[in-house]
Chains A and B, each alone.
Chain A
């Protein structure tokens, strides 16, 4: 499982290797970070790749309607498609021999069924793009929710310390005690098998809603983000300017949001891309196991699962979404490194497996 650790840093802007004091003097920390990030070619390439994937996924409806000309969520078991001027079955019965089984059409390398069809006769490329929307949406949303929850708890625990810190930290330890995937699978199994949906007072969430995997993934990772943030808050809480603000009678809210939060937010920002990469992987794993995104919706994980039964005959069904996951996670990890170097070149944020 992923585990994040961060050495606390002060609010001062640090010099990056090869950077002169003149280059950063008089500039805001955000502008300096932005400048550093833009200068990092590897991070920019990773950002470009990530943006390209996002744009491709956003174009999924256009691709499905105007290029593939198919509904990627509708079965097309008895349909035909035109390949090089010839009408062929999308799901073809085995010819010759005993004639057992059926095989979906393979890659046509043209607009319709570019990389072939799945067992339901659906266009896999269109599903990969739609699946990317789901994977990215869940990955980003769960990472953001997780970070926000962790940041809030870390602020409360680190600022008030004492019993507040003890209680909140023990709750986090309790969640941390469970292996991430075991906890996620347990939660998903319980929540998704409530056929009437999840009801909290007036709020009802359908089990097939994206919000179910989003919240599950967000919750299981909170302790992993909470730990470094709490350390950061505890460190900042002891700084002289915080002491000074306290002596001037600043309210707790002001201390938390004006003095401490701005000095720990960079840590949260550094963690965010890495968290998104991690949550996308977790979503893919849960969906592969059938407890993430629910059919007929698609995510990269569900498409790999669909392709599992076609590994011998149509391996691209599983390989292509796998490649998309690899490229997305790779780009986010490289981008995360770039963000860390830009915001604080001396900080040591690392992901331990």
Chain B
């Protein structure tokens, strides 16, 4: 997804083409322990600059900010394990008793529900709630990923055409506490898609329209207040009894509050003074030195993110329709300078490739560096860059460097304006408002030449980067929802992507080996200047104990103890 999940899901149209292993990742990504247990009680007070954007309805909202709370109040049939490190990328049974083996070539999935689970309104969970939830996903009309992730359910095509009368009987059958999904095609990422809030189970009685406050769920908390101008308040769900510590552990605080409206500087000060326990937003650059000091360092947690920040070349527009020109710019890019813009080497790691570290299919690879071979970027190779650009014959071409007008992204754009000018191009900056920049650069009619973007995982699968951002199926000419910004389509690489997806259905490890090869081949074709993989800062008050970072959900708020 686009940064902080603000992207629209129509970006993810290519997912259906994919097949990827969604299994384990290679390394630990958390800075702290893998599980947490702490004292119960108290109120965890968090602060944020603004409420999560968009509707608070769990089947519509697509923001990290709300998802971090929704995972505490709702459950899916399966879910990502609430743990740090690689454990946190594993999918475990949640409302379902076990993770089933798919049958019918991966097209049929049968789940058996745990008995006796109740919603926060006191009603018992049934198979009918599961079916109704998926029908509501289409009936509601603006669920961002309904048409791209869940369209594989049999009957979904009709629901997409006539949402109001959606009936998924052909694709979901309920038999007592057993729910069977019939898919039109095998989907290796089906469990991932069932593990995110869009697929969290709601009572069948939930009206099929955008809710002003998330409806009852089955988690340890329930939504007591949602005021977009003031605060969100979660209180304990009186009907919750822990059924799986891995999937949905009982939380520690009695109440979780998130207050809105503070400038980010004030958020830092409040947490410093223990007036708040955690700030959602990232601390501003000029406070980082202060937070690094011994006074606060024990309260600062830095964790790597599975995200890649990059500038995309448009491979169909001059001058970067020339491979040598693209490779030349890649060799010339001083990623150490870009890392400094991101806050220094403790907050970003240089990269040359698409997949981020600790991700399925990731094998370190960096050909665009002095002394390549180690897989790591060390320094720019200006001599090779100039040689390639001379050979490309593109010197002197005018290039518009497109970025958005936020401080960091504009700074990145300015760096490339200087670099391209020094390489002999005539570069100018085009800094657009963040609201319009992303749709603008996706539209081929705008003939964007070189554009900033970034990508954060939806779930741990190589296809979530490679297919969506660089697959042939992600190019939609003339559309604002064409996430393959580079318009890169290499038939041989695409065939390899398709093959990796197929292999991944039955053998995720073998699939990931092919994805690693795809990542390498894409990097060699240089449709991007991949810049760095960022890290995330959590700053907590001194009373927060048991900090736990999940690679999927980030700081697990309910696992913190404030008493």
Contacts and interface: CB of A to CB of B under 8 A. Distances in A.
B300 interface: yes
Of listed A91, A101, A195, residue having the most chain B CB within 10 A: A101
A102 B429 contact: no
Nearest to B380: A78
Contact of A120 (B336, B347, B411, B429): B411
B286 A313 contact: yes
Interface of B is mostly: helix
A299 B270 CA distance: 34
B289 A100 contact: yes
A75 B346 contact: no
Interface of A is mostly: loop
Contacts of B300: 98, 100
Interface in B285-303: 285-294, 297, 300, 302
B205 interface: no
A102 B415 contact: no
Interface in B329-377: 334, 336-338, 340-341, 343-347
A103 B284 CA distance: 12
A89 to B, nearest CB: 9
B429 A309 contact: no
A101 B418 contact: no
Contacts of A195: 400, 402, 430, 432, 440, 446
B340 A294 contact: no
Contacts of A314: 286
A97 B284 CA distance: 17
Contact of B415 (A98, A120, A311): A120
Interface residues of A, number: 34
Nearest to A313: B286
Given A101-B289, A102-B344, A295 B414 contact: yes
A101 to B, nearest CB: 3
Contacts of A290: 405, 431
Contacts of B341: 77, 119-120
A119 B343 CA distance: 10
Interface in A65-109: 73-75, 77-78, 91, 93-94, 96-103
A84 B347 CA distance: 31
Nearest to B337: A77
B473 to A, nearest CB: 27
A314 B287 CA distance: 12
Interface string A98-131: 1111110000000000000001100000000000
Given A94-B292, A96-B292, A100-B346, A78 B336 contact: yes
A259 B293 CA distance: 74
Contacts of A309: 284-286, 407
Contact of B417 (A91, A206, A296): A296
B433 interface: yes
A91 B410 CA distance: 17
B298 to A, nearest CB: 10
A313 B289 contact: yes
Contacts of A101: 285-286, 288-289, 292, 343-344, 346-347
A208 interface: yes
Interface in B263-318: 284-294, 297, 300, 302
A178 to B, nearest CB: 21
B428 interface: yes
Interface of A: 73-75, 77-78, 91, 93-94, 96-103, 119-120, 189, 193, 195, 206-208, 290, 294-296, 309-314
17 contacts: A77-B340, A77-B341, A78-B336, A78-B337, A94-B288, A97-B292, A97-B297, A98-B292, A100-B344, A100-B347, A101-B343, A101-B346, A101-B347, A119-B407, A120-B415, A207-B430, A295-B429
Given A77-B336, A91-B340, A119-B285, 5 more contacts: A75-B418, A100-B289, A119-B407, A310-B285, A312-B286
